[in-house]
Structures are given as structure tokens and as C-alpha cells.
Structure 1
Amino acid sequence: MKISIERSALFRAASQAQSVVERRNTIPILANVLIEAEGDAVRFRATDLDVEVVDTAPAQVERAGATTVAATLLHEIVRKLPEGALVTLAHDGASERLLIEAGRSSFSLATLPREDFPVMASSEYESEFAIQAAVLRRLFDKSRFAISTEETRYYLNGVYLHVSDADGGKVLRAVATDGHRLARVDADLPSGAANMPGVIVPRKTVLELRKLLEDDEAEIRVSVSETKVRFAMPAITLTSKVIDGTFPDYSRVIPQGNPRRLEVDAAEFARAVDRVATVSSERARAVKLQLEEDRMVLSVNAPDSGAAEEELAVAYGDERLEIGFNAKYLLEIVAQVDRENAVFFFNSASDPALMREGNDASAIYVVMPMRV
């Protein structure tokens, strides 16, 4: 194999590959990226056996072939090469080394046989549809903060992507929860997605996919089966196993009859929560909200370090209410508000609160209260 490739294209592929491979591997080949040169393109393939990414880049292929090399090491080398450099990768079948040359720099890296590299088995996808990158990014961006990190409830360690009923008909819905907060985000149902099986997309896959969705206008082809999901872009394909489990009936925890309505400037509210929470070193410190007509008082009482209080002007016209929330959860939920005010709906001090962005019901958030 011998190819010449632009440094920028090689850096993109190397970055994606080293991001997918696990830092600590008991199987040496899984630390490597498979490089396959053929025709006028080169493919870079990396996997951890659960997620596989394939990046195709244009290249001058002098001699077709394939080999594998340490993904992290390749990334570090390419990162330090000058912008605009033309990089040559050469490997001959008899050698166990990959030669990398750019300008006056040259590197010789150990390789492992391409035959040892595991390729994720292809799947019969039950549903395939196209969706704009901006729409897919919104679904995952607004829900991923609520993914659970608790390994015992593994079925909550991802975003549940499925087709659901809404007031206007069928929607494509993303839901995530850790039992303390929940995010539910809807998008118009893409053509061809109606029969899609519901799948739990793992946290790592969501994070890797997020890096690939920068071009708002790009069209992403999504293929879904009971066991795998694939996201195909013009140059990159990300394939992932889905979490083998049943996502709980989240509709049971979404409050339906919270009558007390509070509207507040989201950015102003977030700054106030952040300020009063400063006095406590405890991560789960509760912030108490005291609501009266058109007025909110936020307070934190940390016996070991002190207390803090701040008053905000809000739109609230219901009975007086005192309710407490984890400061971190409040900040993460309010951070999802892009344009309008944050609108909260409460029932009592012991019931979950619901939040949405203005009058937009396509994204709603639920947060459990804390005793204060």
C-alpha cells in the first residue's frame, strides 16, 4: 500500500478513529485503525466491538493495500504535522511497519495484520430514512444530559429513539432519564420511519455521532434494526449496537395536571441558581425556590459554609409555594432553552415539576424535587 493524502483529511479520520477506540485494550488489534486504500480513496475503520466508524477520504493511491496501525499514535503524529502538508503512507506486505512521511518528517510505526481486524457484521435493517443533521442533532443534544451513568440500570444508559403519538400525529421522539430528571424531545416523523423499531442508542454512540453533525444542511441516512443503528453521511458511516433492554414507560412520570405556572428568563434564572449554589461544596445541594406573586426568592443554606439568597422578578400568579431542586439538575434543564423564557409547571412541593421552552411543547423536561 502506498498513498498520498492531505493532512486535513487524514487528521479528521485519525481523530474520529482514536475517539472510538478504547484507551485500555486487552485485545491489541482493537487499539488500531484499519487503513484500506483502493481506487482513488482510502477508508479508515475503527471499532470497540460496539461502535464502528468508517471514514472515507480522497487520496492518490499509488499502490492499493491495507494494514492496521495504533489509532492514538497516528492521531498524535498527524496532529503535529503542519497545516496543508501532503502526507505519504507506505506499507509493503513483507514489512511490519507503516512509513509516514510529510516534508522532512518521517515516522516508522508498528502494524498488525489486517486479517486480525474485526469488522462489524452487517445487519438487515428494518427501517431506513433520511433526516437533516440539524434535526437529528437537536433530538440528541436536548436529551443526552439526562442519560443515566448508573451501570446497574443499563437500559437507561442511552437515548431511547422511537416513533410515538403526539397531538399532531406521529413523531420521531428521543427520551432520556436517570430517574431524577427526564428529557422528551420530538421531531417531525421522516418519510420511511413509521415502522422503525424503538432502540436505545448508547451514550458513547450519541457522543460520537454528535461530533459528526456540524453541517446543518447535511442529510443523514439512518438505518435501524432491533440490534443495530447506522448513521450514514457522505464520507463517514457510524454503526452501533443498541442497548439490549426495555426502556421504561416514561409517560407515567410526566406530570399531566400541574396547575401552577411560572415563567422566568432562562439565562437570568440560570445565573441566579449558579450564584446561590456557590456557597455549598456539596454537588447535590438543594436550591429552595420560594414563589409568590410575580416574585421568586432562591436560597441555599449550607450549615458548614454559609447561606445565600437572591430575588428575581418572574411571572407567577398562583398560591405561595416552596420547593427545592438539585442545583445541577436545574442548570442542565434550563440550559436547554434556546430562545424563549423557561416555563415551569408545579403541583406541590413533593411532586415533579415540568419545564418547557415558551409555548413549544415539542421538548419537555421533568425534574424531581428535593426536600429542603
Structure 2
Amino acid sequence: MKLETTAGALKGALSLMSKVVPRRATAPLLETVQFDGATLSGTNLDEYLSVQLACTRAKGRAAILLRPLAALVRHVGRDANISIEAGAQGATLIFPGGRYDLPTVEWEALDPSGEFSTEIAVDGEAFRDGLRFCKAFVSYEDTRYYLNGICLDEGHMVATDGHRMGVFPVALSAAEMGRPIITTNTVALLAALAPAKAVRLDTKRQAMRFTLPGMTLTAKLIDGNYPDWRRVVPDTAGAIEIRADRRVLAGAINRMHDVLACAGLRRHGVGIAYDADGLVVCGYTTIDLPVLAREYLTETATIGVKDPGSIEFNARYLGAALAQFDHDDVVRLMVSSPGSAALLRGAGAPYAVMMPMRGGASSDLALSTLKDWTHAQAAA
């Protein structure tokens, strides 16, 4: 193999390869980046990535161990010219003032099998936005492996871990698409890359192929049945609606989360109490270190509130959900009852479903704090 390119071009391509090629593998070939002319490819057997390299000369094939090659190129100036010659005895990389001999592995095609004949019509920008929104709600527990990804279901992208759920409406059009589930690793890859120009599903619905600018990613899907997520979406007709400044509410939730975590409580709740005039957020723990946290959020609007009420959420889950609405100044939290799921959304179509914590004392504390604060305001 003979290849001539620049260090900057090769560095960018190898950086992409490192997202797929494993550091350690049972087969040495899986630790390599495969050169086939101007095409670089790598795989971990679940994802297969091929990238087109900008070069002045590209001929032949070679499989070079990725880690030493990437480590070397990382320390070469971006504009420096690089030439690589590879054969059965190894590869030689030459740049101005340097010559390195690197190990190779016998080249063998690792192209993914499958007939990707089903095209899914999708807007690349919207598809990537949906991946970025939903990935915060993906489960990482092995017991329910079918939740370890994002499901594409009739115009929606959905992810849940059983405690919270993210739903991103997006136009998806394909004949007999089914309900494919994209794995967590693939989601992370696609969310970090340029928007896909084309998406195809193989005939057996076991893999998807994403065509992106200058590259192609083929990824296995999760073999499982996604649950009926629509059943847990709450009916918000007649629900109480709390409108709050997203930054103010997120700031209060995140402060309480961090302080209570330092006090030794791993999974702690924050209680939110509301009446017609405002909002109180509370949290406390007596484990290791006693902490009592209370914040009064007066710049909120509550709609449909007849009597004061309260609800409790996992602080980390609620803070992470609020972070997904970073383009919204105001968020709306719709609560039907303290024990049922609540719906969180901004001005757009995406929304989150949050399951409340049961049996927690923070919601009771928030409600009593709200009453004390209301009495103090009236007395003043």
C-alpha cells in the first residue's frame, strides 16, 4: 500500500476511527484501521465505520494497528505531508524529519453483511436533534436490554429507563419500518457527527446504515421489543400547569442535588410544592450529615391550582431532564396528581415524562414550608 496525505487529514480520520475500533480485542484485526485506497474503515463488530480520506495518492490495502498510528500522527504538525508504505512486514510512515516503522496485521475484509433496501426518509438535522435529546433518558441496565437505546416509532424517537422518558416527534417515513431500536453506542456516535444524509434499514431489520458527509456508519440494532411507551404518557386535560424560568428552576434543583449528595444521600428527592402564588423547592437528609435545603421561587406562574399541592422527583433525573430544554427560557410542568406521572415540556414539540418518587418526605416538607412562607407573606 502507498498513501500520501497531510497529518491534519489523517488525524481527523483516525479520530473518527477511535470511536469504533476497540482498544483491546480478541482478534488483532479488530484493533486495526483498514486502508483500502482512500477509504479507511474500522469495526467493533457492532458498528462499522468507513471514512473517505483526502489524499494525493492512495493505492493498495493494509491493516495498521490504530493506537500507535494515531498516537504518532497526533504529534505531527497538521500541515505536514505524510506518506505511508505498507506490506507484509509492516508499515513505514514518513514525515519531514521522521521515519517510523509500525506493526500491521494481515488484511481481511470486515464489511458488514446485509441488504439495506429500506430507505427511511428523515430530516438529518431533526434526526440528530432527536438523538441528542433522547440519549439523556436511555437506560444502562442490562436486565432490560431493550431499553439500552432509542426506539423509532411512527414519527417519534423515544428513550426511557423506567423512571423518566424523553419523546422527540420527528418525521419518519418508510414502508414496513417496524420499531427499530438504535443502540446507546450508535446514538453517541451519531449525536457527535454531522447530520445523516440518508438512513437505510436492512431487510431483516437487524442493522441500519447511516450515510453522512464523507463517511458511512453501519450499526447493529437491539434485538428486542420496545414497550408500549404511549401508555405512560399522562393525560394533561385538567392538570395543574407550573410555568417556571428554566434556568432558575434548574439552578435550584442542581444546587440541592449537589449539596444533598455531599451529605451522603445517593438517591435523593426534591419536593416541589405549589399554590396559586408561587413555588417552593425543598430537600433534606439526616444521613451522615443533616442538611435542610429550601428555595422560594416567586417568579413562576401556576395555572389551574385550587388548593396547595406537592410532588417529589429524583433530583438528578429532574435536573438532567431540564438540561435537555436548553433552548427554552420557560418550561411547563404539568401535574395531574402527586402520585402520577408528570409531563415536562418547553415551547416545542419534544417532551419528557417524569415519574414521581413515592413515600418521600421532601414533598411533605415542601408543602409545610410553602404554608409557612405564605403565612409569613400575609403577616408582612
TM-based fold match above 0.5: yes
Give me the whole-angstrom Cα distance separating, in 1, the residues matched to 2:34 and 2:273. Answer: 58
- Report the more deviating stretch, 132-141 or 264-273: 132-141
Matched residue SS, 2:144: helix
Distance 1:4 1:296 in 2: 64
> Aligned residue for 2:166?
183
Residue 136 (structure 1) aligns with: 127
Matches within 5 A, 1:67-216: 67-92=62-87, 95-115=88-108, 117-121=109-113, 123-162=114-153, 164=154, 172-189=155-172, 193-213=174-194
Q: Which residue of 2 aligns with 1:45?
A: 41
Provide the C-alpha distance between the structure 2 equivalents of 1:27 and 1:186, rounded to a whole number of angstroms: 41
Q: Secondary structure at the match of 1:255?
A: coil
SS at match of 1:137: helix
SS in 2 for 1:248: coil
Shift of 1:208: 1.0
- Greater fraction strand: 1
Are residue 286 (structure 1) and residue 269 (structure 2) matched? yes
1:228 equivalent among 175, 184, 207: 207
Distance 2:93 2:4 in 1: 10
Which residue of the partner structure matches residue 356 of structure 1?
345
Q: CA deviation at 1:101?
A: 1.4
Q: CA deviation at 1:348?
A: 1.7
- Runs of at least 5 residues in structure 1 that lack an aligned partner in the other structure: 165-171
Structure with higher Rg: it is 2
Secondary structure in structure 1 of the residue aligned to 2:190: helix
Q: 1:257, 1:131 → 2: CA distance?
A: 29
Q: In structure 2, what is the equivalent of residue 366 of structure 1?
A: 353
> Matched residues, percent identical?
29
- 2:29 corresponds in structure 1 to 29
- What's the counterpart of residue 283 of structure 2? 300
The residue correspondences of 1:231-270 to structure 2 (distance < 5 A) are 231-257=210-236, 259-270=239-250
> What is the identity, as a one-letter code, of the residue corresponding to 1:228?
A
Kindly provide the amino acid, as one letter, of the partner of residue 10 in structure 1.
L
Deviation for aligned residue 1:291: 1.0
* 1:44 and 1:54 in contact (8 A); partners too: yes
SS class of match (1:298): strand
Q: CA deviation at 1:124?
A: 2.0
**Corresponding residue SS for 1:91:** strand
Is this contact kept in 2: 1:197–1:224, CA < 8 A? no
Calculate the aligned-residue CA RMSD, in Å. Answer: 1.7
What is the SS of the residue equivalent to 1:268?
helix
Which amino acid counterpart does residue 12 of structure 2 have in structure 1?
A: R
CA–CA distance in structure 1, aligned partners of residues 123 and 80 of structure 2: 33
Kindly indicate whether the alpha-carbon contact (under 8 Å) linking 1:31 and 1:71 is maintained by their aligned counterparts in 2: yes
Could you tell me how far apart the structure 1 residues matched to 2:277 and 2:82 are? 64
Note the alpha carbon deviations across 1:23-82, whole angstroms, 9 max, x for none: 231222111111111xxxx111110111000001121226x2111111222222211111
Distance in 1 (CA, whole Å) between partners of 2:277 and 2:172 is 39
For the residues of structure 1 that align with 2:193 and 2:168, how far apart are their CA atoms? 20
TM-superposed deviation, 1:279? 2.4
Letter of the aligned partner of 1:316 in structure 2?
T
Residues 126 and 196 of structure 1 are in contact (CA less than 8 Å); yes or no, is this contact kept in structure 2? no
Alignment of 1:47-66 (within 5 A): 47-61=43-57, 64-66=59-61
SS of residue in 1 equivalent to 2:350 = strand
Q: Distance in 2 between matches of 1:102 and 1:112?
A: 22
Q: Does 1:322 align with 2:310?
A: yes
CA offsets 1:69-115 (integer angstroms, 9 cap, x no match): 112222222111112111111113xx321111121122211100112
| Secondary structure of the structure 1 residue equivalent to 2:45 | coil
Q: Residues 119 and 81 of structure 1: is their aligned pair in 2 closer, same or farther, counting only changes over 3 Å?
A: same
Q: Which amino acid aligns with 2:110?
A: P
Using structure 1 for the length normalisation, give the TM-score: 0.89
In the alignment, which residue of structure 2 is the partner of 1:334? Answer: 322
Amino acid across the alignment from 1:133: G
The equivalent of 1:169 in structure 2 is none
Amino acid corresponding to residue 3 of structure 1 in structure 2: L
* Shift of residue 133, structure 1, vs aligned partner: 3.1
For 1:261, give the aligned amino acid.
E
1:334 alignment partner AA: L
Q: Which amino acid aligns with 1:101?
A: I
How many residues align? The count is 347
Distance 1:130 1:255 in 2: 30
- On the 8 A contact 2:120/2:172 being kept in 1, the answer is no
Deviation at 1:277, TM superposition (A): 2.3
